[in-house]
Amino acid sequence: MSFVTCDLCDDNADIVSVVTGFNWFSYGGRSAFGGEIVTVKCFEDNSRVKEHLGTEGKGKVLVVDGGGSLRNALIGDMIAENAVKNGWEGVIIYGACRDVDALAQLDIGVVTLGCVPIKSVRRDEGQLNIDIEFGGVVFRPGEYVYADNNGIITAPKALL
């Protein structure tokens, strides 16, 4: 998948929403990725992230509202490796990741607010496929998200 979010914005200005207010970091092996939105809402507990990335994800991007916490990583190398095996395009986390050197070697996009070496707590909590909001954008399951080094955008339909 080859695109630049700047061009997608220019060509679709009337329908795209742009995530603002954050300085995102790209840790995965893909610098640009996009697909159908699947959501998880959780706080410092990656149970639902692990569970969902263990399912078929071809053409999909998992968008996680981790409450902006940088205290516990919501994804690391093992969960990301499983996501690659299941065909996920990428993961966007409003929160943290870990194992960043290993993530850079994987064929998946991983964009987060930062990294921390501390693993997630596991309380088997979190919500799947609900509307979530951060950066002034509502992420709706079934809509589309695109991310690259310029930023993150959403659209109600596929742009590619």
- Residue 142 annotated as binding? no
- Residue 79 annotated as binding? yes
- Pairing outcome for strands 90-97 and 109-115: parallel
Backbone angles phi, psi at 97, to 5 degrees: -130, 180
Whether 90 and 72 have beta carbons less than 8 Å apart is answered as no
Whether 36 and 61 have beta carbons less than 8 Å apart is answered as yes
- Residue 98 annotated as binding? yes
Considering only CA atoms, which of 37, 87, 93, 83 is closest in space to residue 61?
A: 37
- Residue 78 annotated as binding? yes
- Residue 99 annotated as binding? yes
Annotated binding site: 76-79, 98-99
Annotated binding site for Mg(2+): 99
Annotated binding site for substrate: 76-79, 98
